[in-house]
Structure 1
Amino acid sequence: MKVKYAVLASVLALGGCDQLGKKAMDSLPDPSPQQAQAAQEAYDDLREQNFEQLMAHLEPELKAHFEENEKELHKFARGLPKEQFKTRKIVAKNIEKASNQPGKYTVTYEYGYAKNLVQYDVSFDKAGGSAKICDLNVSVFGEKVN
């Protein structure tokens, strides 16, 4: 009987944590329409390996970083599925404030494919701010993409 109560309490606690996380994410603003459009266009350009068009969406510092580390950009692009994604949703939002650096607003998108899941983190200067991307990262889960 005690085990049943412990399991029930654990399930309720985990459910409560999920609700707290959702409320915390909902308290942060969504990206502006211009930021959302820039994020999507940059993702599409990366997937299609249109690096010149991709660079137009990036802040000068990130653009310079990828020009110096071109292999990193190609690695991101090669790992992305080429088929059309089935789902796209925001799964996290974060505002990072460091005393010695300007703030950073990061949105994590999740793209669902038939055999893969892609996590795409894209950062801007602030929520509702510039549509220029100051950081991005891509993680692919599932079957290896050729």
Structure 2
Amino acid sequence: MRTLIIFTTFSFIILSSFGNHTYISTRNKYTSSEQIQKAKLIYHYKAVANGLADIYIKVFDDETFELYFRSLEDNIEATYHGTAYETKKNIILNFTSDKPILEALFDEKFDSNNAFKVISDSKVSIDKSKPYISLWGIGCEKL
């Protein structure tokens, strides 16, 4: 379980992640009732078994995503977040906080099925019709 609490002048927001679901709880000083929304997982890519890294991308219906990366060789671990939206053919990921070097993670020389395109240093387009993508040279299946 991961929990993030954000305080603002008039309210606070709690984001909790349990498995495939993210829960958003908000409370403000004007109401005593609590609203809970469940962000549903709509796309999930996960690395196939390998000895190099654990990687996944989860895209939620609240237009957010999470990319998790853990190198098994160097014991380096990172989680990236941002906004996501769909076009007719693609999922667009926009990294909003810390961001990886996208050309290294989404290396087009390993993209044999043309599943993604790096648009800028903070934005990637993924073809949602493809059954897998290659991240850091590792095949990730669409679940």
TM-score by length of 1: 0.24
Q: Higher strand share goes to which structure? A: 2
TM-score by length of 2: 0.24
Greater gyration radius? 1
Q: Higher helix share goes to which structure? A: 1
Q: Which has the higher contact order (CA 8 A, sep 6+)?
A: 1
